[in-house]
Amino acid sequence: MAPIEQVDVWLFRLLNLNLVHPSTDDLMVFLTNGRLSWHIFLLALLFMVARKGKNAFVIILFALLAVGLADFVASGLLKPLVQRLRPCFALDHVRLLISQPQSYSFASSHAANSAVVATVTWIFFHRGVLVEKLFTGTMIFYALAISFSRVYVGVHYPGDVLAGMVIGVCSALLVYLLFSWLFKNILQPWLIRKGSCGHE
């Protein structure tokens, strides 16, 4: 086992076996299961609409595209390429709190997708008024909590989660840069030309 993988396994055992408490088990299962916690993202969407109006739908479209990219990289490319077994299959005495996923472990798509949402929130809200800054901090904390829960419940190594978070952040930034380029070089000149024609 390579040194990096040994550290990853050691951290997994620390977070999955030692730094745990039965009173937090239900919370971690709630965080890690999108079917249980979906309404938190719904509330986030409603907040975006309330704060940004029609512009929120552009933000939501941007987020969906970034999530699609992150999920494709994490699950569509890296999982079949790396083929890393999940700790619940590869290690003994894993504290498994949910049913065993049959897909590979690296990288965590949960971490990637939640990191996208946190990054999109930061891009559009971190410079706003106090309530928007609080919203940004809450979504970042929520993404970190989801990522941590994947290790806590026994289905991912910390390295899987870290890689997923990096993929999510990079996917959101890449899509944002693409959106910005398209707006600056295509949409904005077109709107200017259209406005000029309208005044002739």
Q: Could you give the CA distance from residue 60 to residue 158 in angstroms, rounded to a whole number? A: 29
The secondary structure of 41-73, three-state, reads HHHHHHHHHHHHCCHHHHHHHHHHHHHHHHHHH
For each successive 10 residues of the chain (200 residues), what is the average pLDDT?
87 94 93 84 89 89 94 95 92 91 91 95 92 94 95 96 97 92 75 60
**Separation in Å, CA 20 to CA 25, 73, 92:** 8, 31, 17
* Residue ranges of domains in the chain, CATH in brackets: 23-173 (1.10.606.20)
Nearest residue to 111 (alpha-carbon basis) of 156, 50, 78: 156
pLDDT of the residue at 37: 78
pLDDT of the residue at 190: 65
Under a CB-based contact definition with an 8 Å cutoff, are residues 9 and 1 in contact? yes
Q: Could you give the CA distance from residue 143 to residue 145 in angstroms, rounded to a whole number? A: 5
